Chain A
């Protein structure tokens, strides 16, 4: 089974710069499957499975497209300010692996 795939976590070293001041969206190549822990993410382009490890992160990712920038999406999902740095790191990782992308 493809559980050797990386689980979403801290941002990786290189890749496109994640700018939470910009508008983002969940990639159209990605499907989110709700699960008790959050959601399973499948990318039809890279055929990779990964995981969103909290329901709140699922809300944030699903809501990105409805907000002018990432910070607003975090506010709308009610993310605790203390948790914000961790969520931004997770989102940077998701941008890195193509789960979310900048909206133009």
Chain B
């Protein structure tokens, strides 16, 4: 059996674990995958978070990707960072840069086993701030300047590819080079608030080809988080695993300890359990029914007969789910156009699933009015303490 086949049947511990420490965020990016904004009062405490680190150490999870929300706004962020590192759990954290002043930059430059990803979704303030909010470009650049000045070795600039920034790939690379950083580009998913803006922001078919060609020609040393494997059907496979790792080699721990199959799947359908349960995170990873399902051989459904199935594996589960497409059919951005056909074929009363977890501020300063049908909640779950949305838990009639 090939290594990648083993991966499909799941591993003893995840290879790539994302841990969102808080839903609190100083920004309100329109495409936020976790609909962050407000802190959740049930957030894991410092001690609970340390207990999770202890467990990761026992499970030999050698590093975690920490995100949020904005993880650095947690007052105990730096304490947890040190705790993880001193327990053999390396940390890569994603930040908008808000807390990376000269002092923190110097502290981080003196710390081993820490990687930093600065989010930047436009190579110019105009393009970036359109999705990430006013001032966010300047904040990110200032953080990069501080890190470079402190001598922090190779931070990453993390870019979500959109219709507005595909043309800026060379400029992103130039910014990365200027600050001694490594460029990382990832795919926009219709997750979290992204469901509201996906139609407007996701790259057009010609841009997808442009992106693929750029990766093939200039992608040496550019990280992708394996997120463009659906583009491999254009021809040459892109470097990486080229498979959906959800629940198999990847998962997410959210700020309240809920464990989801993947960072882009914060929805009760992909909720496997909670780290506060008696078996802890290890119990969820090993025994969750959802994960057992994901680790069974997948049939490929409508895609199985496609000659490119081996290279794209039907694409991204979350992208399908949050556009209302069946999970065993084509990805909405299928490079052969089957996804577009499937999107067009959705009937007027197709419910677009929406996460029941929403920490957006009631009046996000960078929000937009959703266009088209109002997304529906697939099912009702008890309202949470932190649900600020007036629509929380209420299913609206379609087509309003």
Inter-chain CA distance A4–B221, complex, in Å, is 10
B350 CB to closest chain A CB (Å) equals 32
- B280 within 8 Å of A by Cβ? no
B113 touches A36 (CB 8 A): no
Residues of A within 8 A of B250 (CB): 1
How far is B12's CA from A62's CA once the two chains are assembled, in angstroms? 19
Interface-side segment among B73-81, B98-106, B238-246, B309-317? B238-246
Select from chain B the residue with minimum beta-carbon distance to A43.
B62
A36 touches B240 (CB 8 A): no
Which B3-27 residues have C-beta < 8 A from chain A? 3, 6, 9, 11-13, 15-16
Query: Is residue B63 contacting chain A, with contact meaning CB distance below 8 A?
Result: yes
What residue of chain A has the Cβ atom nearest to residue B238's Cβ?
A4
Q: Are B62 and A37 in contact (CB under 8 A)?
A: no
Residues of A within 8 A of B86 (CB): none
B282 to chain A, nearest CB (A): 13
The B-contacting residues of A in range 1-22, CB under 8 angstroms, are: 1-4, 7
Residue B348 CB within 8 A of the other chain? no
A53 with B3, Cβ < 8 A, contacts A1-B245, A33-B13 known:
yes
Interface of A is mostly: loop
- Measured CB to CB, the nearest residue on chain B to A53 is B3
How near does chain B come to A62, taking the closest CB pair, in angstroms? 14
Given contacts A1-B245, A1-B249, A40-B11, contact A51 B3 (CB under 8 A): yes
B90 cross-chain contacts in A, Cβ below 8 A: 47
A-B contact count (CB 8 A): 53
Given the complex of chains A and B, what is the CA–CA distance between A42 and B56 in angstroms? 14
CA distance A53 to B6 in the complex (A): 10
The contact of A3 among B12, B62, B63, B240, by CB within 8 Å, is B240
A37: chain B residues at CB < 8 Å are 1, 3, 6
Q: In the complex, which residues of chain B have a beta carbon less than 8 angstroms from the beta carbon of A53?
A: 3
* Partner of B225 from A1, A40, A49, A51 at Cβ < 8 Å: A1
Query: B133 to nearest A CB, angstroms?
Result: 28
Tell me what chain B mostly uses at the interface: helix, strand, loop, or mixed: loop
**Assembly CA distance A2 to B88 (angstroms):** 17
- Give A15-54 as 1s and 0s: 1 = Cβ < 8 Å from B's Cβ atoms: 0000000000000000101111100101010010101010
Complex CA gap A4/B227 in Å reads 12
How far apart are A57's CB and chain B's nearest CB, in angstroms?
12
Interface contact B15-A49, CB-CB below 8 Å: yes
Whether A47 pairs with B63 at a CB distance below 8 angstroms is: yes
Check B1 against A42 for contact (C-beta < 8 Å).
no
Q: Does B277 belong to the interface (CB within 8 Å)?
A: no
B223 within 8 A of A: yes
> Is A3 within 8 A of B15, CB to CB?
yes
Cα-based distance from A42 to B13 in the complex (angstroms): 13
Chain B 205-237 interface mask (CB, 8 Å, partner A; 1/0)? 000000000000000000101100000000000
Q: Give the residues in chain B near A51, CB-CB below 8 Å.
A: 3
Q: Which residues of B contact A33 (CB under 8 A)?
A: 12-13, 60, 62
Q: Is the CB of A35 within 8 A of B16?
A: no
Closest B residue to A45 using CB positions: B112
Cα distance A7–B241 when bound, in Å? 11
The residue on A at minimum CB distance from B243 is A3
Q: Could you tell me the distance between the alpha carbons of A2 and B226 in the complex, rounded to whole angstroms?
A: 9
Residue contact A1 to B3, C-beta cutoff 8 Å = no
Of B6, B223, B226, the residue contacting A36 (CB under 8 A) is B6
B residues in contact with A36, CB < 8 Å = 6, 9, 11-12
Smallest CB–CB gap between A28 and chain B, Å?
A: 13
Assess the B11–A3 pair: CB atoms within 8 A. Answer: no
A31 touches B62 (CB 8 A): yes
Binding site for B on A (CB under 8 A): 1-4, 7, 31, 33-37, 40, 42, 44, 47, 49, 51, 53
B residues apposed to A, CB below 8 Å: 1, 3, 6, 9, 11-13, 15-16, 60, 62-63, 88, 90, 113, 223, 225-226, 239-241, 245, 249-250
Q: A36-B11, A40-B11, A40-B60 are in contact. List 9 more A-B contacts (CB 8 A).
A: A2-B16, A3-B240, A35-B6, A37-B1, A37-B6, A44-B62, A44-B113, A47-B90, A47-B113
